[in-house]
Structures are given as C-alpha cells and as structure tokens.
Amino acid sequence: LTSAVSISTIYSSKAVAAGDVETKINTAVTKSDLGISVRKSVVKGAQFIDKLDLQWEKFSDSNNLGTERSKRDRLPSPKIIPENLLLDSKFARVILDSCDAVFLSLMVNTANEDQLKIKIEKIDESVRKSFVRSGLTFEGQPKSSSIIDAQSFNYICFVHFRAYNDLLVENSVKFNPFRREFERQLGDKILGEMGNIREKPPSDGAVVSAENLKGNLLSTLNSIGVVVEEFRKRGLLAQAERSDIDNEKITDWSTDLSDLQFSLAVDGDVTLNAQILLQELGYRLYPDFSRLTVSSLLRQNLEKLKQTITSEDYYMDTAYNSDPEKFEPEQVLINFAAESQ
C-alpha cells in the first residue's frame, strides 16, 4: 500500500510539473510580445499569400495559362437576360396584400394589423435613405404602400418581410412551424389569385399507383410552365427554364425506388435583391414568390398521392468569374423534390 501511494505521488508531481511547463509555453506563445508578433506575422503572411494567389488565378484565367486550362473548352459567354416586362402593379399589390393577410392570420394571438403597420413604417423610415442613395426613386410617391414599378416593389417587399421577421422574433414565435405554414398558405393564395390557368390533373388521389403518379406529374409540369409564363407576362421575372426529367427517373420515382428532383432557373426575379439582403441580415422569411407558388402547385397535385414536396433556392451568377468580389447573382435556381411519405 505504501509503495502504491509513493508511486502515485511521484506520477502526480510529474503531471503537475508538466502542466506548469505547458502553461508557461502557452503563455509565452499567446501573451508575450514575441508570441503576439509572430502570430500577427503568420496571419499577415497567409493573407498576403491568399491575395497573391487570387491575383494569379485571375491573371491565369485571363490569359488561359496552365496545362489544365489550355485543355478546357472556352468559357461560356455571359448569359443574356432579357428585360422584364412592365410590372403588373395591380397584381403586385394583390401579392403584397396576400403576404400581410397570411402573416396576420397566423399571428392572430400575438400581433395585429396596427402593430404590423407601425413596424412597417418604422423600418421604412430607417432604411429608405439608404435605398435612395443606392439609386431607388419613388417618383413623388413617398409611402411604402405605393407600388409603381419593379424597383419599388422589391423595396416594399423588403420592408414588409423585415417587419414580419422582427415581429416573429419580438413575440418569440417558433419559426420553423410558422415558416412552413406561412409559405404553404401564401403559395396557395397567390396561385388562387392567378385564376383558372392550370391544367387539371387526371387523378384525384383516390388510388395511389405508378400510372396516377406519372399522370399527375406530367400535368403539374405543364402547369408549372403556364404559371411561370404568367409571372413573366406580369413582369415578376424575365424568363424561367425548367430542367428536363429523364423518363427512367420518373419510372423509378413512380415505383417508389427513389425521390424525384428537378430545378427551375429564374432570371430577373424582381424581388431578388430583397431576398438576398434579408438573408444577409440573418432573416429566413423572404419573398421568393416563384418558389412558393410552384411548391403549392406540386403539393396540390402530388400530396394527395402520398408525396412530400420540398424545395431549396440558390443564388447564381450566370457569368463565370474567378474573382469572388465580382460575384453578382442574377438568377434564382430553385430545386424541387418529391418523395414518398
């Protein structure tokens, strides 16, 4: 027993001594003038190398230098995006009113119309000058509710959605359930406001079968084309292109062997800047009306056949550039997925 205690004491002393040495080393490295100077030099050196590497990358791209670059095809030309048609101001107003109505219906016990109005006015007052300095003009219409053109609509959407997000935080609302229901109801509402422009799906969902799934999917894809074309005509986007879906993938999905995915590339979305700015500020409720409306269409036609619909959006610069500082998103790439419940 005495030997055991002695050995334990020896090891403990050595451990303490080693710990003291380690502490002194850490202090010398992290707190001494020399240690701080060395660390600053390392950081500055790394920053310099990164900057130099970026400059070389841009130079190499410009002159097609390097073995691998010389093998690749020419870089694609920048995508030419047509100008948006004139915004349908009346329909834009309907969309914005729908946003307010859905938000208030879900906040019935926590926020009312007057509180939302006050919040919108405060945000409008605090951010308007910044937007004006960046080139926004209101053509003599100072109120945030006055929709004139695409630029103004983008701004007003930003103000309203920031107000929604702020009220959600202030009232400690559980965000994820709220967002799901808000997006579902808003998508349905916008789709309903577009009138009877959709193709009726062949199956009412009474029987889940491969044939019914395929039939409803093809009908839905046709309707998506109609919806995005309607958005284009109303000036909400410049153009949109849906990815092709391989027949084999449709067959696998309809027989429950895999999920089904496709994308929709939206160019010239009038609320693109509002979407990006809100997310940069940390807000996760934003006005991506194309995604919400197409998601609604998919749900209405496929959920009754036991399919779960999900979607994600990504912001793309349609012109290649090796300089990240020149990244200018001009396209919203929306990925949709349908999967058996």
| 67-124 pLDDT tens trace | 555 555 666 677 789 999 999 999 999 999 999 999 999 999 899 999 999 999 999 9
* HSE-up of residue 313 (Cα within 13 Å, Cβ side): 24
DSSP letter, residue 321 = -
For residue 188, how many other CB atoms are within 10 A of its CB?
Answer: 19
Kindly state the average pLDDT of the residues 299-317. 94
pLDDT at residue 7 greater than cutoff 90: no
User: What spatial distance separates the first Cα and last Cα of the chain, rounded to whole Å?
Assistant: 66
| pLDDT over 90 at 130, yes or no | no
* pLDDT for residue 9 is more than 50: no
pLDDT digits (tens, 9 = 90+) for 191-239: 999 988 778 888 888 899 999 999 999 999 999 999 999 999 999 999 9
State the pLDDT at residue 2: 41
pLDDT number for residue 255:
92
What φ, ψ does residue 142 adopt, rounded to 5°? -80, -15
Please give the pLDDT value at position 135: 79
311: pLDDT strictly greater than 50: yes
Whole-number pLDDT of residue 287: 98
Range with the poorest average pLDDT among 12-21, 54-63, 265-274, 319-328:
12-21
DSSP secondary structure, 39-77, as one string: HHHHHHHHHHHHHHHHHHHHHHHHHT-SHHHHHSPPPPP
pLDDT beyond 80 at 323: no
Q: Please check the confidence at residue 185 and state whether its pLDDT lies above 90.
A: yes
**pLDDT reading at 183 higher than 70:** yes
Residue 250 has pLDDT above 90, yes or no: yes
Q: Averaged over 118-131, what is the pLDDT?
A: 93
The answer to whether residue 44 scores a pLDDT higher than 60 is no
Q: What is the pLDDT of residue 67?
A: 54
